[in-house]
Amino acid sequence: MKQFFILTLSLLALSCTDRDDDVDAVNIRIKNASNITFDEVQVSDAAEVYENVSSGDYSGYLEFETAYQYAFIQIRSGEDTFTLQPIDFVGETPLPIGFYTYQLDITEDGNVDLSFLIDY
């Protein structure tokens, strides 16, 4: 009985993740690299938004039909709104199916700084 209990706990621990490696879409999460809390982050024209991402934390993943290494980003924090507006995606290759992180920071002059990370 003790071995069954240990095996069950082990399986539960291994299954607790925000990732599902058997995916069929581009999955993107946000890492807040700034010193403020992001109340809401809009990426591209996604129907869902990332909410309440504290400084230094990661959001959960959202699925995207098509995404690139950079994107339109709008961050709302309190009364402030910060925007990153790419000019176009001409010549860019869409991301393949997988897991990615947009690491977002707010510069001293109020611009959004996006660093693209591939999650393994």
Average pLDDT over residues 43-64: 96
pLDDT at 28 over 70: yes
Whether 106 shows a pLDDT value over 50: the answer reads yes
Is residue 17 pLDDT above 80, yes or no?
Answer: no
Q: Which helix (H) or strand (E) holds 4?
A: helix 2-15
Nearest Cα neighbor of 29 from 60, 2, 64 is 60
CATH 2.60.40.2890 fits 19-118, yes or no: yes
Instruction: Give the per-residue pLDDT at 90.
Output: 86
Out of 11-15, 43-47, 76-80, give the one with best mean pLDDT: 76-80
